[in-house]
Structure 1
Amino acid sequence: MGDEGWGAWLGPAAALVIGCCLGSFYNVVIHRWPKGQSIVSPPSRCPGCGAAIRWFDNIPVLSFLLLGGKCRHCRGAISWRYPLVELLTGIMAAGLYRAFGFTPSLFVFFTFGSLLLLIAFIDLDTYLIPDVLSLGGLVLGLAAAALFPHVRWIDAFGGALLGGGLFYGVAWGYQKLRNQDGLGGGDIKLLAMIGAFIGWKGVLFTIFFSSVIGAAVGLIVMVRSRRGLAARLPFGPFLSLGAISYVFWGEKLTAWYLGAL
């Protein structure tokens, strides 16, 4: 492989490693933040026996594989979520580097993707989306649109209004018709944040994509759990998946869908 070939892979490889390392920290945030615990102190510990995790047992993905998915001290099982979050963050970083290079858009969309990942896994665990992530992300998205050219500011502002307003309208209508909550306030704020980062077109794509995938997964959950419509399923992960899918493939998937019609 020539110098040019190595150069084409060096950046994404570095992004992959950095992303995996950041994913290790994201695991701490996902585990501790909903409990109101510090994300800085104490250092990482086994949730089973409380033993401190040494640095050589805390290498992203690799340590999990070498330890066979078990704590070195108590041999208790380590959740698959830890290497998954690390790997997803690394792959996202590498993919964004390939798509945007070392540009402001790389950092904007990596920040966006990181927020989506944190929100998705916290929502899976708690059925709650922290306002500090969704509303904080909304502010960051609007600021990024004003400072960088990844999306026009007017599109970001319109996307935030469309995302938050549309879901608020749906939630209000559902509550009036059924006299019970349908969409949570966290989903409304999340979609507003999504609109701030990727504009109104991204909001429409995210709603369609997440609804299709969410309906399919929801049907499977209802059947397997045998609880029917009573089965609970957080919608935040599907919105997050739809939004990051738009960043990578939104225009191509939209063009393909419209062409198929």
Structure 2
Amino acid sequence: MRSQLDAQIGAVVVNHNTSAWTELLIRSLFVQNPGFGRLTVYDNASIDDRSAMLDAAAQYGAEIQQSGFDTTTTTNSHGQVLSKFVLDPRNAELDYVLFLDADVCFTRPGTIRTLQEELERTPTTFGAGPRMSWDGETEMAPDLAANPEIYRDRLHPACALVRNTDLFRRVVDEVGLSGATQHLIGQERYLDTFRLATMVMRTHGASHVIADALIMHAFAVSYPDESSSLIPQKEARRDAWLQSLRTG
């Protein structure tokens, strides 16, 4: 097994008017995972204050690119931007692709190494993800974790380390990573970002695995949902972590 320092890992995150969150992601990724490879931040023409995020990107060598979308795009562009990263010819030689959400914070050391080690223990897996926490200390409540969209039915792109195989790249090229709607008899079923690709990978005998690692995931800060009332609480926690990381 190649060590994390030897393996070529390329990470990608999308900033959608979430620059303070993306700053936290950048700082915590590199602080908690020393020797990490490279990170690309695709920005959806964000109009919030990006200055501190840009400072963090410069400090840790993260690349900022415009995605080609903006914050008024009516459809969630997340999966399409992730696909763009995978299919960029410059990334074809990566050993692994690490997908990240802007509202993730690494609160424990060595998370990426743990994901890689879990992948290498199980050759039939195509990707590995951590367990998720709202506070960065304890896993989310069992009733929330039981949601099949979190762990069971898809590799959640909040934090997903994926083998950059020819098969995976072909699935991304042919199927993509965007959400999809199945029109069934009498009902419609929405497949969230990365779920359809996870389903297709399973048809090739390639499953995903959840490693013994924990991250903070704030959930739903880019696009509003029923939990939007919790954003002030989430932002207060974010700002406390930022203060700690900025001061070292």
Pairwise TM-score range, normalised by the shorter structure:
under 0.3
| Bigger proportion of residues as strand | 2
TM-score (norm 2): 0.23
Bigger relative CO (Cα 8 Å, ≥ 6 apart)? 2
